[in-house]
Structure 1
């Protein structure tokens, strides 16, 4: 959790680049796409080809730290290692006047955050299982390479013409990495940032809850658990409880995929 001093430094020094700024020899910044704890992402144009791209800048305050630069280098390495239509392609890595940039494929899609909170999209139980199934298939590509994303939230999963794409590898790491971002003061953060498959399963469990809550309308003021509020089959609740580590957790992604596919067949027959 950022201190007041850290927040003040971010405000003073982490201001986005202006529209029209140049990155490297070829890229011109258009506008800010988003800002995260480690980076600022822009849309930009490759002036050599006229092609639209996305550029992620390491926050200037992070660029002054060894851990920040190490995180940037790790993200670049991981993006080079991952290929396929479910992940953005890395085009270039640029260091310029003490600033660090990743130039990558611009993905023209809608995040699930956009779909739920802006578009008002409602996901049924079967819809949620279908999305989770496809997401798990992409995650299996990462896990096969010993990579854990560790940030599979609704802003980082895109729907691109009906297909999923995972973005933002800022917190991703290899299975033998020591990213130094766990905090013993916050047990949930330890689970979320664990260097193991369980971190991705935990995030995907919460991702699924966001989808399921998209159609929820509270009928009473009394606060209840998600299991009490959501009209979800007991079988799917069991899957979610294992993903959320409430019950004995999954250890491999193929276990999640197998359970989801068996459950989808069962539910669709009803």
Structure 2
């Protein structure tokens, strides 16, 4: 009840405090805003032109309404630190972290493409089983790279997958975490979450070709007609059957399913 009472005030506070940069405005007198790309729980991203290097980039701002809480600053700083040291062609690299009177920012590479959600809904793209497996494998290979560094994304969703140049890119590392000590239950839980999210994306892609013929809601195992290999891999990703011990093993199973679909 208290949440319902105070929520409108929190939203008003965010609206009044969070500075939004319009098109043409400059961030730190260097990055000219082309357009806003999106907002998350603690950050807002802008497509900008770096007036010094004369190239497009993404600038992410820690929302001013979140700066008073150490939790969000740590998450924001951690995201920058992870992106600045990860070297992978399908992960945007971060290049600089700075502070102005309007808050904290960091700069990262701009991925020129469309996210998977936009691609499906705006182009009405349908993925057959082989295509769905191919995209999932592409994403899983990026996740496998993260896991080799004991980094777990924690938010692998279709809006956070970019398609560009025929490849999948993984963005938004705001919930990502790196582990350095002995593996514990939290790390295992994050591994299973990333695996589940990959399964959820695969299931979403497979449903793009589904045409409902009855009003009755049925489980996907009854609604979708899948090959045994694809169904088995999907059930393990979603934890219905014994989960994969790693993304590497999941990729092997997905590849076998894709070969069977050829």
Aligned to 1:186: none
**8 Å Cα contact 1:34/1:40 also seen in 2:** yes
Aligned to 1:180: none
Q: 1:98 deviation in Å?
A: 5.2
Aligned to 2:209: 215
CA RMSD of aligned residues (A): 2.1
Comparing 259-268 and 31-40, the one that deviates more? 259-268
Alignment partner of 1:262: what SS? helix
Aligned to 1:188: none
Cα deviation code 1:20-51 (max 9, x no counterpart): 33222421222211111121111111111221
Match of 2:152 among 138, 144, 148: 148
**8 Å Cα contact 2:99/2:105 also seen in 1:** yes
Cα deviation code 1:135-194 (max 9, x no counterpart): 1111111111110011111011111110111111111111259xxxxxxxxxxxxx9x97
**8 Å Cα contact 1:175/1:195 also seen in 2:** no
Aligned to 2:163: 159
Aligned positions, number: 254
Aligned to 1:84: 88
Q: 1:109 deviation in Å?
A: 0.8
Q: 1:208 deviation in Å?
A: 1.0
Unaligned runs of 5+ in 1: 178-190
**8 Å Cα contact 1:175/1:196 also seen in 2:** no
Unaligned runs of 5+ in 2: none
Q: 1:72 deviation in Å?
A: 0.7
Aligned to 2:231: 237
Q: 2:256 & 2:189 partners in 1: Cα distance?
A: 28
Comparing 37-46 and 13-22, the one that deviates more? 13-22
Aligned to 2:37: 33
Q: 1:134 & 1:113 partners in 2: Cα distance?
A: 16
Q: 1:58 & 1:194 partners in 2: Cα distance?
A: 29
Aligned to 2:130: 126
**8 Å Cα contact 2:229/2:260 also seen in 1:** no
